[in-house]
Chains A and B, each alone.
Chain A
Amino acid sequence: MSEFEPKIVAFVCNWCTYAGADLTGTSRIKYSSNVRIVRFPCTGRIDYMLLTKAFAGGADGIIVSGCHPNDCHYTSGNFYARRRWMVFRRLCDFMGIDTRRIIFSWVSAAEGAKWAQIVNSANEEFKKLGPYENYHKLSTQEIFE
């Protein structure tokens, strides 16, 4: 049996992390290929229900990444994202969603290497946690059946 590969979905903002991930490419820095990047205008746009949606659909881990504090292209979207994340994390704890499976980070447009490093370390972390079967079972059996 081949080694477990977590399914990772990355929610990133267009101006910093997406551009940073572009720079990772331009610099030809390799990272693990089991991550899928979804582009948002700003981390402030990210509706955290999307995270539960991603888990429900089969994701094993999630990365949310935007501009560094004070560097937001839209002034303050990343602050709202962070504030909502603090609240959402409490909700996750309450609902029994494992918050270790959500990695929140800041990656600027100049940090191509940092993006690769975040993806790789997230991959290692999610590998250790194994497939998120508890949640997947919930979503497929009890809700949809």
Chain B
Amino acid sequence: MPQFDPSSFASQIFWLAVAFFVLYQLVVKLVMPGLGGVMESRQRTIDEDLARAADLKARTDAAIESYEAALADARAKAQAVLRETNEELARAADARNREVSDALARRIEDGEARIAAARAEALEGVRDVAADVASAVTGKLMGEAVDETAARQSVDAVMREAR
């Protein structure tokens, strides 16, 4: 096999060294500053963008947090106002209710008193009429005048029974 022929070794190794040196120079001079540089700057750009995005996100979160705090605060305040108003209204309504029911109760009492008076008056009238009628009827039946007082007394007795 030609691989084991030492006569070509010197040439192979010499040209290997030359070719590899050229390639190494190529990598160091062309690839590393160019490609390596651009990839590094890309990584830097990406890192910076990510950092900025994280910063913006933190700020957004803070804004959302303060907004929510404000919202909760406003809600609590609104509820407090609502509750206060409710209580006030309830108190006012209670007072009015009491007032109105007192007035009603007074008028009912007045009415009842008037009714009682009217009734007493009416009963008085009925007794007089009944006594007159009783004495008149008795007089007609018996043909003699009846004692006014006796008639009145018996009417009273009957009415007491009826009551």
A and B, one complex? Answer: no
